[in-house]
Chains A and B, each alone.
Chain A
Amino acid sequence: MTQDNHLNYAYYPGCSLHASASEYDRSTRELFNALGIGLEEVPDWFCCGATPAHNVDELLSLSLCAKNLDLAKQVNNDMAVACASCFSRMKFTQHILNENQKKRRLVEKAIDGPAHIDGNVKHILEIMARDLGLERLASAVKKPLSGLKVACYYGCLLTRPPEVSKLDDCEAPSIMEDIISAAGAETVQWTHRMECCGANFTLSRPGIVVQLTNAVLNSAKRAGADCIIVACPLCHGNLDMRQEEIEGVYNTSYALPVFYITQLVGLAAGLPAEKLGLDSLMVDPLPMLKKKGLL
């Protein structure tokens, strides 16, 4: 555990981080450990319901999140969430149940008890940029990411809607750029950092995802980025896992490695590549990192 008792959190990884986005989980734990931030996993947390639950059954979505918020609060009043979708659902639940007493009563009936939902829900970006602070983050950098041009991809749910997520400006955020700049990288200006990648349509309508994600990759490439960073397992799945397929469909080549932000910051903090799960990425980042002298 850390000496600094301010920076301890109940950690809610979410389902993806225990499966297809295991490198996000791993790199978050390793990086936070190196930064002296304590993460204690919420015991027996369960799925937040994500988009499918709120799409067809708001009461179920709110109840699942309220119960998870309750479990987290038993560990720590401050909760750290890495997945953008889980983060959004937790924040929505707090927002809706605080505004609508009727819905709150129904949820309390469904979970058979009071809804303890007033803990602080924080995305790991906020923890790095604000709770720890950019100066302390920069002082932890051992191998600055010099010469690396990074496209920061926000996607949808980190910043929208602003009155719920309260993470950053909803049209011109800078939190990811601030963090990765503190790690010594350059950032590019590009058009599609807030555009949707198609998210969970990757299962039901992959054709739509290919089209939307292609626009994102194309924009990052045109801006001269060496790589893209994300803070959401769905964004990552679409940009990284589907990149080869997209290149085939559009007869083009992007070869753009897509990192979780914690992987690149972890690299800058001097953590070895194998601890950050860089070998789990579908678009192999090692040649690019070696060429840039970062490995």
Chain B
Amino acid sequence: MKKKKMLLSSKTMDVDFVRKVEELSGTSVRRCFQCGKCSAGCPMATFMEHPPNRIVRLLQLGQWQRILAGRSIWYCVSCETCSTRCPNKVDLAAIMDALRKLSWDKKEPSKEHYVQLANRLFLENIETYGRQFEMRLAAVFNIKSGQFLKDLMLGPKLLCKGKLKMHQDKNRNIHEIEKIFQRIREMRSKGEAE
């Protein structure tokens, strides 16, 4: 296979998007001098096509489409190692959050479906029950991701150990939670919030 060259042109450069990332994350990508310490400590770097330092480099060059098209941002596990160790105080974990949010809102097609599906189901459970319903989370994830047998053998063992709750009552504060979700949606539709 022919190796793709990194091509830079004004067509693929989008600085506005990068400024948005900087605003949401409260951190400047211009501070990074590419020492690579973030990627050296990143537990997920081996699974990413763009390790953390390259994500920042791509942002510096305005090449956000490359980032959003891949899996890397969804493979960040939010362990905060990069942000903790950066000598220039680039809050890379916050940059990852900002990138995921922008990708999520744009409904940009990413190759990584499983992590996004898990996130969506997790948030749905909060809105429905007020608390996390682990059993439903795992069951619906398996069905929707088509992995019906995933961790199936763990189920009975967890049940025996009393670790699997088969029922989740709705939180008595559920109306309060629904209102929070509702107000945020309204704020977004009015353009008051990102």
Report A136-161 CB contacts with B as 1/0, cut-off 8 Å: 00000000000000000000110011
CB pair B132 A47 closer than 8 Å: yes
Q: Which of A28-71 contact B (CB under 8 A)?
A: 44-47, 49-60, 63-64, 67, 71
Q: Which of A72-116 contact B (CB under 8 A)?
A: 99-100, 106, 109-112
Report the interface size for chain B: residues with CB under 8 A from the other chain. Answer: 61
Report B92-104 CB contacts with A as 1/0, cut-off 8 Å: 0100110011001
Tell whether A196 is near chain B: CB-to-CB under 8 Å. Answer: yes
Partner of A20, one of B81, B123, B158, B172: B158
Partner of B97, one of A46, A58, A64, A195: A58
Tell whether B16 is near chain A: CB-to-CB under 8 Å. Answer: no
CB distance from A24 to the nearest CB of B (A): 11
CB pair A206 B150 closer than 8 Å: yes
User: Given A53-B126, A170-B84, A203-B118, are A59 and B163 also a contact pair (CB < 8 Å)?
Assistant: no
CB pair B176 A52 closer than 8 Å: no
Tell whether A208 is near chain B: CB-to-CB under 8 Å. Answer: yes
CA distance A196 to B93 in the complex (A): 14
CB pair B151 A206 closer than 8 Å: yes
Q: Which residues of A contact B101 (CB under 8 A)?
A: 55-58
CB pair A59 B43 closer than 8 Å: no
CB pair A204 B115 closer than 8 Å: yes
Tell whether B14 is near chain A: CB-to-CB under 8 Å. Answer: no
Tell whether A162 is near chain B: CB-to-CB under 8 Å. Answer: yes
CA distance A106 to B194 in the complex (A): 10
CB pair B81 A160 closer than 8 Å: yes
CB pair A46 B131 closer than 8 Å: yes
CB pair B77 A52 closer than 8 Å: no
Q: Which residues of B contact A205 (CB under 8 A)?
A: 75, 114-115
CB pair A162 B163 closer than 8 Å: no
CB pair B119 A52 closer than 8 Å: yes
Tell whether A18 is near chain B: CB-to-CB under 8 Å. Answer: yes
Q: Which residues of B contact A16 (CB under 8 A)?
A: 132, 134
Q: Which residue of chain A lies nearest to B154 when distances are taken between CB atoms in the complex?
A: A241
Tell whether B141 is near chain A: CB-to-CB under 8 Å. Answer: yes
Tell whether A174 is near chain B: CB-to-CB under 8 Å. Answer: no
User: Given A20-B164, A106-B193, are A199 and B183 also a contact pair (CB < 8 Å)?
Assistant: no
CB pair B165 A60 closer than 8 Å: no
CB pair A280 B131 closer than 8 Å: no
CA distance A281 to B133 in the complex (A): 20
CA distance A208 to B71 in the complex (A): 14
CB pair A22 B162 closer than 8 Å: yes
CB distance from B44 to the nearest CB of A (A): 7
Q: Which residues of A contact B100 (CB under 8 A)?
A: 55-56
Tell whether B20 is near chain A: CB-to-CB under 8 Å. Answer: no
CB pair A44 B126 closer than 8 Å: no
CB distance from A249 to the nearest CB of B (A): 14
Residue numbers of B with Cβ under 8 A of A are 24, 26, 43-44, 47, 75, 77-81, 83-84, 93, 96-97, 100-101, 104, 114-115, 117-119, 122-123, 125-126, 130-135, 137-138, 141, 150-151, 154, 157-158, 161-165, 171-173, 176-177, 179-181, 183-184, 187, 192-194
Could you give 5 example pairs across A and B, Cβ below 8 Å?
A47-B125, A59-B184, A111-B183, A161-B83, A203-B137
Can you list the 5 inter-chain pairs with the closest CB atoms, starting with the nearest?
A: A15-B132, A160-B80, A156-B79, A52-B122, A204-B118
Residue numbers of A with Cβ under 8 A of B are 15-16, 18-22, 44-47, 49-60, 63-64, 67, 71, 99-100, 106, 109-112, 156-157, 160-162, 170, 195-196, 198-201, 203-206, 208, 212, 241, 279-282
